[in-house]
Amino acid sequence: MSFISIGEAKNESGILFAGAGAGTFFNQYTYGGYGGGVSGGDGSHCTKYYGNLRCGTGATQTSYGTNYANSNNNGGKFYGGNCEARGYHEASGGGSGYYGGAGGDYYSAGGGGSSFINESFIKNGIIIPGNESMPSPYSFTERLIGNRGQGYVRITPIVINIEIFSPKRSCYYPDTNFTLDLILFTYNFNEVYNISRAVNSSGLQDYELIQTHQDDSQNYIFNDTFKVPSERGYYQISYFMFSESVPYYKIEDIILVNKVPEILLIGERVTVELAGISFGNVALVSMVILGTAALRSTLSKITV
């Protein structure tokens, strides 16, 4: 069992308990009950003597697991039941938890312990039993069926946010389509996230809904395409996200809208690409001529 407590490391001070799986008896092909969940799993495939009645049952959030054949193997609050031996007839213990599962009797398997979340301290908690898919404690991207071996606790600051990860150009031509690639970092809260966008506005009434995403515990990559304003200048692009657990989250970025620089060569217009433009006093760091017109010594003007 793994648990988190407040104030002191005592079970009685615990606010979160992850139930443990039960033991299984070697060479008898019995199955110990899984831990965790609102209820722990029952032991199964037990000995032929009284069948599964010799297996320990899993605990719930209000009661410990029991063993019909031997009440001495019952579980208790915070601990799993014993594996009482009858002469040379050994058995396996129950899993600990908020309430513990019962131990097995006469070559039989025990039941799993239950998990518990104190909702006075933890909101929107999710309890996943050990026989179902869950996030791996060893990786942010992998999933597994239960955790094997010793108990494991990983505490991660939860930050549900959006990031823009597409490279941004130095400027954008007016009245053209513009695409940003974004990623939504989420956790398995089973919530719906609404994502909106606004240009040069901080008022929520001016946002346009662009995405609705059902959280599936996977980071969500999407793109947003919209038309750049027709007027030159700097524009603030804002993305706003809200859900039940995250009532408000906003990111912002600035883009520059400006026409593509051009050169007039003896009356002929040639489009150029400029690297390193200082607007106001025009400073050219490098210039690439696009087109086949011959460059002559007479340069009329540069329009930016």
Residue 159: the pLDDT is 60
Fold of 161-257: Immunoglobulin-like (2.60.40)
Domain boundaries for CATH 2.60.40.10 within the chain: 161-257
- Separation CA 57–CA 64 (nearest Å): 9
> What does pLDDT average to in each consecutive run of 10 residues of the chain (304 residues)?
84 88 76 89 76 82 89 89 68 89 86 91 83 82 80 68 83 89 78 88 71 84 91 89 76 84 58 45 39 39 42
The tokens for 146 are: 């239960």
Residue 85: the pLDDT is 61
Residue 87: the pLDDT is 56
Residue 260: the pLDDT is 64
Sort 77 into a burial class: Cβ within 10 Å, 0-12 / 13-18 / 19+.
middle
- For the sheet containing 14-18, what is the strand order? 2-5, 14-18, 116-117
Residue 154: the pLDDT is 74
Residue 281: the pLDDT is 35
The tokens for 204 are: 């929520």
- Separation CA 244–CA 135 (nearest Å): 22
- Separation CA 150–CA 34 (nearest Å): 14
Residue 71 DSSP code: G
C-alpha dihedral sign at 273, 261, 230, 204 = positive
Sort 75 into a burial class: Cβ within 10 Å, 0-12 / 13-18 / 19+.
buried
Q: How many CA atoms lie within 13 A of 284 on its CB side?
A: 14
